[in-house]
Amino acid sequence: MFIVPGPASIELGERVASLLGLKPKPVDHRIFPDGESYIRLTSNVRDETVVIVQTTAPDQDRRLIQLIMMTSTAKELGAERVICVVPYLAYSRQDKRFLEGEAFSLDVIVGMLEDAGADDLLVVDAHNEDSLREIQSMHGIKIHNLSAVPILAQGVKDMGYGGAFSLSPDKGGIHLAKAADKILGGGYSFFEKRRDRKTGEIEMLVKDLEIKGKKAVVFDDIISSGGTMARALRGLKDQGTELVAAACTHALFMEGAEKRIEKAGADLIVISDTVTTSVEGICFTVAPLIAEKIREIVA
């Protein structure tokens, strides 16, 4: 088996390879002056199981193209099985056609990977696992969804948040709060979040949670602008929560997100390394989670 760390996930790919006791097989990669990517696999992949590790955080389109090129090249050059490890799968939030005529982007991306020759797709905290399952049933590719939430929850617990209340910023993420509660044990709930599909504006209703003087942690799959997390944290602070932590798997943290979250009162920010970020949060690696799953699926 070969582990190929893609240009977007060199460190994570190397960690996974090392946990599996393998030497990573690097990709020769550069960007042409016009922005196009050059990709060359440096090992003979014939008859091998090739595991490509490439996240697709911004710049999503470039990283997706690189992933497609690596996958398709490995298959064309005779790889027996190609496993795409895409810790953060871009375009996952458009997991159905909400308005007539919209691109069903998650389906488009999975279809592209399958057409390129991917046999398996391994993701971490898929935005909507049910949609992925549905998409899997329409394609031939096998999809594996892992969760970083137990790692994040254990991390905040070790930092003094044992017994904290777990929350998700919307009903769709309640499974995250529930999973975290198994470790933190202080109960769990969700906020009511509504998004205007045309303007993208969100409205968040903060329920009365009776958590005055307690600790709480908000778990989300993604922090992008930080708007959702900031509103959740502010709602908790307004209710007199003693300490609030923000935990997320995919720390995209676009311009201003970190400040927004700190200003909302975050006492702690914990993230995972599914994407590379400059955020000053406590970062936990998903490498062991990925390595264990790879071991299981190639066994």
Candidate list 13, 24, 155, 169; residue touching ligand R5P; CB under 6 A: 169
221 near ligand R5P, judged by CB under 6 A: yes
Candidate list 224, 272, 274, 277; residue touching ligand R5P; CB under 6 A: 224
285 near ligand R5P, judged by CB under 6 A: no
Q: Which is nearer to ligand R5P, 10 or 174 (CB)?
A: 174
With contact defined as beta carbons under 8 Å apart, do 12 and 285 qualify?
Answer: yes
The distance of closest approach from Cβ of residue 147 to ligand R5P in the complex, given in angstroms and rounded to an integer, is: 14
Q: Which is nearer to ligand R5P, 58 or 162 (CB)?
A: 58
In sequence order, which residues have a C-beta less than 8 Å from that of residue 3 and are 6 or more positions away?
A: 13, 16, 17, 20, 22, 24, 25, 51, 53
Separation of alpha carbons 5 and 52, rounded Å: 6
The distance of closest approach from Cβ of residue 266 to ligand R5P in the complex, given in angstroms and rounded to an integer, is: 13
Separation of alpha carbons 38 and 27, rounded Å: 10
The distance of closest approach from Cβ of residue 51 to ligand R5P in the complex, given in angstroms and rounded to an integer, is: 27
CA angle, residues 247, 252, 253, in degrees to nearest 5: 80
Phi, psi (rounded to 5 degrees) for 156: -70, -30
226 near ligand R5P, judged by CB under 6 A: yes
Q: What pairs with residue 272 in β-bridges?
A: 284
193 is catalytic: yes
173 near ligand R5P, judged by CB under 6 A: yes
Residues 65-124 that bind ligand R5P (CB under 6 A): 93
Name the DSSP letter for residue 208. P
Candidate list 222, 236, 279, 290; residue touching ligand R5P; CB under 6 A: 222
Separation of alpha carbons 97 and 30, rounded Å: 35
Radius of gyration of the chain (CA): 20
Single out the segment in contact with ligand R5P by CB under 6 A; choices: 32-40, 65-73, 180-188, 223-231: 223-231
Residues near ligand R5P (CB under 6 A): 93, 169-170, 173, 220-229
Residues classed as catalytic: 193
